[in-house]
Amino acid sequence: MEPRNQWQPSHVQGIPLVKLAEEYGTPLYVYDGERVAEQYRRFAGVFDEDVQLRIKFACKALPNLAVMQLLGSLGCGIDAVSIEEVELALRAGFPPGAICFTPNCVSFDEIRRGVEHGVVVNIDDLSLLERFGHEYSDRIGCGIRINPHIVAGGNPHIQVGHIDSKFGISILQVRHLLRIVENYGIRVVGLHMHTGSDIYDANVFVEGAQVLFDLAEHFPLLEYLDLGSGFKVPYQPGDIETDIAEFGATMSGAFREFCRRYGRPLQLWFEPGKYLVSQAGYLLVEVTVVKQTVSSLFAGVNSGLNHLIRPMLYDAYHHIVNLSNPSGKPRIYSVVGYICETDTLAWDRPIAEIRQGDILCIMNAGAYGFAMSSNYNARVRPPEVLVWEGKPLLVRRRETLDDLLATQRSLHQALTDLRTVPTEQCSP
Active site residues: 340
Integer CA distances (angstroms), 37 to 4, 62, 155, 269, 383, in order: 18, 14, 27, 18, 21
What is the rounded CA–CA span in Å between residue 273 and residue 232?
11
* Helix pair 33-44, 244-262: axis angle to 10 deg: 40
111 contacts 128 by C-beta, under 8 angstroms = yes
Q: Which of 35, 38, 82 is nearest to 63 (CA)?
A: 82
| CA angle in degrees (0–180, nearest 5) for 323-326-330 | 120
Containing 261, the helix (H) or strand (E) segment is helix 244-262
Pairing of strands 28-32, 224-226: unpaired
Q: Which of 360, 390, 359, 315 is nearest to 34 (CA)?
A: 390
Burial 251-284 (b: 16+ CB within 10 A, else e): bbebbeebbeebeeebebbbbbbbbbbbbbbbbb
Within a 10 A sphere around the Cβ of 16, how many other Cβ atoms? 12
Integer CA distances (angstroms), 324 to 10, 210, 357, 358, in order: 9, 50, 9, 5
What is the rounded CA–CA span in Å between residue 192 and residue 320?
36
120 contacts 190 by C-beta, under 8 angstroms = yes
Who's near 213: CB < 8 A, 6+ residues apart? 225, 254, 258, 261
What are the two backbone dihedrals, phi and then psi, of residue 168, each rounded to the nearest 5 degrees? 85, 165
For residue 75, what are the β-bridge partners?
none
CB-based burial of residue 426 (10 Å sphere; 0-12 exposed, 13-18 middle, 19+ buried)?
exposed
What is the rounded CA–CA span in Å between residue 266 and residue 242?
25
